[in-house]
Amino acid sequence: DQDLRSQLAELIPEQQERLKKLKTDHAKTQLGSITVDMVIGGMRGMTGLLWETSLLDPEEGIRFRGLSIPECQNLLPAAHPGGEPLPEGLLWLLLTGKVPSKEQVDALSKELHIRSTVPDHVYRAIDSLPLSAHPMTQFTTGVMALQVQSEFQKAYENGLSKAKFWEPTYEDSLNLIAQLPLVASYIYRRLYKNGQVIPADNSLDYGANFSRMLGFDDPKMQELMRLYVTIHRTDFANFVIEILLQIFFYSDHEGGNVSAHTAHLVASALSDPYLSFGAALNGLAGPLHGLANQEVLLWIKSVVDECGENITAEQLKEYVWKTLKSGKVVPGYGHGVLRKTDPRYTCQREFALKHLPDDPLFQLVSKLYEVVPPILTELGKVKNPWPNVDAHSGVLLNHFGLTEARYFTVLFGVSRSIGICSQLIWDRALGLPLERPKSVTMDWLENHCKKA
Ligand code: FCX
C-alpha cells in the first residue's frame, strides 16, 4: 500500500494535465454574467474560484470529493463499527479523492504522531497572552509561532523551483495538522483547567488523542459528568470522541466561505500554510462565520436565563423577535449558499435524538427548529431561514462537559485545517496563480450603468 505522499505524487501529473486541457480548450467559455448586485453584494452567486476538495449544493449541502456526509459515514474507516469516520480518513479523501483503507488511515495516524512535536516557544508565546485573551486569539498566536518551522519558507528562500512547491507545502500542512490538537488542547487546559496539561498518547488515533488531551478520558471528569449523563463511564469518552469526530465534517465547505477563501487568497501570494491558515483562523473568529457556534450556545443560555428551561413556543417566538428587533441576527440560522437545513445540523440532531433526547438545551434547540424558520421567512429578506451547523454543535459539547462556549470555535479551527491544507497543497501542485480580482468604485459603476 502506498503512503499518502506517494499517492499524491502519482496523482499530481494527471491533474495538472486536466487543468491544462481546461485552459487550452475552454479558456473563453462563459460561466454566467456578473451583475452589479454581485459586485456590491459580497460576490454572492459569482463563480470565481477553483476548489477541488469539496462542492456545496444549495439544496443538498456539502459533498467531500463527491461524497455526501452519510456516504462518508458509510465508506470512510471509523475507530469502531458504525462510529463516525476518523479525521485521518477524511484528510486522505480530501487530498486524493480516494477512500482509504483502514490500514492506510492507521499509517497516517502514526505519521501524524511522528510530526506532532510542538516547539516550546509556541507554548511560551501563548503564555505571554493574558488569560482574558479570546481562545481564538491564543490559537492564532500559537499557529503564528509554529510558522518559524515552515519548510516552504526555507525552501523558497533557497530557490526551490515552482514544480516542487507542493512538496514543502505538503510537509508544512501535515506538520500543522498534526500539531494543532496539541496547541488547541493546551489553550483549553490553560484557560479552564488551571494549566494542567495532559500529554498526548501516541497509541491513539487523531480524534481520540485530541479528546484525551482536552481531558475527556480523565476518570475524575467522567465521574463528575455522570451526575447528569446517564451513560456508562466506559462509554463516556467514546461519546465525546464521536462528537469531536462529527466536528470534522466542518473541515471543508467549498472554497468561497470566509476562512477557506482567506487561506486560498493569502497562499496565492506564496505565503506558507502557517501564514495562510493563521489568516483563515482570523476570519473564522468572526461572529457571522465560525464564532457563530459560540454565539449560539451563549444565546441559548440567555434564553434559559430569562425564561427558564421549560419555555413555551410562544415565549420563544417572543424572544426571537426581541433579538431581531434589537438589530441582532439569530445565530446558527441562515447561510450564504445553502438553502435547506445543513446536513451537518441533521447529523448532529440525529446523534442528539439517539443519545441525549432529554437534555433540556437539546429540547430547546429542537423547539427553535420549529419556531425560527417561520419568523425569518416572515422577515422577507432572509434567503435561507434554516439552521446551519453552528445551531447544534454547542449543545452537544455542553452536554458532555465542554461547556466553555468561547472555546468552541477553536475546535472548528482544528477541523478546518484538514480541508484548507488539502486544498493549499493542490493550489501549489496545480500552480494556481496569484489571486487578484478587479475592483471598481461607485463612480465607475454609475458611469458603466448609464452606458449599459
Ligand atoms: N438572523 C437575522 N437576520 C438574518 C439572518 C439571521 N440568522 N440570516 C440572514 N439575515 C439577514 C441578513 O443580515 C441580511 O439583512 P440586511 O439585508 O438587513 O443586511 C438579509 O437577511 C439577507 O441575508 P442573506 O442573503 O439571507 O444572508 P447572507 O448570505 O448575507 O449571510 C449569514 C449569511 C450566515 C452571514 C447570515 O445568515 C447570518 O448572519 N446568520 C447568523 C450567523 C450564523 O449563523 N453564521 C454561521 C454561518 C455558517 F454556518 C458559517 O459560515 O459558519
Domains of the chain: 112-288+405-429 (1.10.580.10), 292-399 (1.10.230.10)
Cβ atoms of 311 and 367 closer than 8 Å: yes
Averaged confidence pLDDT in the chain: 93
Question: Which atom of ligand 1 is nearest to 388's Cα?
Answer: 49
Q: What tens digit of pLDDT does each residue of 45-73 get?
A: 999 999 999 999 999 999 999 999 999 99
Nearest CA to ligand 1 atom 50: 289
Q: What ipTM was predicted for this assembly? A: 0.99
Residue type present at position 25: D
Catalytic residues: 289, 335, 390
* pLDDT of 84: 85
The CA distance from 350 to 64, in Å, is 20
* pLDDT of 413: 96
- Using CB distances shorter than 6 Å, the residues near ligand 1 are 44, 257, 288-290, 292, 324, 329-336, 376, 381-384, 388-390
Percent of the chain at pLDDT > 70 equals 95
* pLDDT of 221: 53
Q: What is the phi-psi region of residue 339: left when phi exceeds 0, alpha when psi lies from -120 to 50, beta otherwise?
A: alpha
Encode burial over 367-387: b for 16+ CB neighbours within 10 A, e otherwise.
bbbebbbebbeeeeebebbbb
3-state helix, strand, coil in the chain (%, to 5): 60, 5, 35
Cβ-based neighbour number of residue 220 at 10 Å: 8
Q: Which helix (H) or strand (E) holds 55?
A: strand 54-57
Cβ atoms of 169 and 425 closer than 8 Å: yes
Q: Which residues of the chain have pLDDT under 50?
A: 224-231
The CA distance from 94 to 54, in Å, is 8
Phi, psi torsion values for 127, nearest 5 degrees: -65, -25
3-state SS assignment for residue 298? helix
* pLDDT of 231: 47
Start-to-end C-alpha separation, the chain: 60
Reported pTM = 0.95
Strand partners, 64: 54, 67
Q: Let me know the angle formed at the C-alpha of 300 by 58 and 408, rounded to the nearest 5 degrees.
A: 70
Nearest CA to ligand 1 atom 32: 335
How far apart are the CA of 330 and the centre of ligand 1, in A? 8
* pLDDT of 227: 41
Among residues 423, 19, 60, which one has the least CA distance to residue 255? 423
**Who contacts 278 (Cβ-Cβ below 8 Å, separation ≥6)?**
140, 143, 144, 147
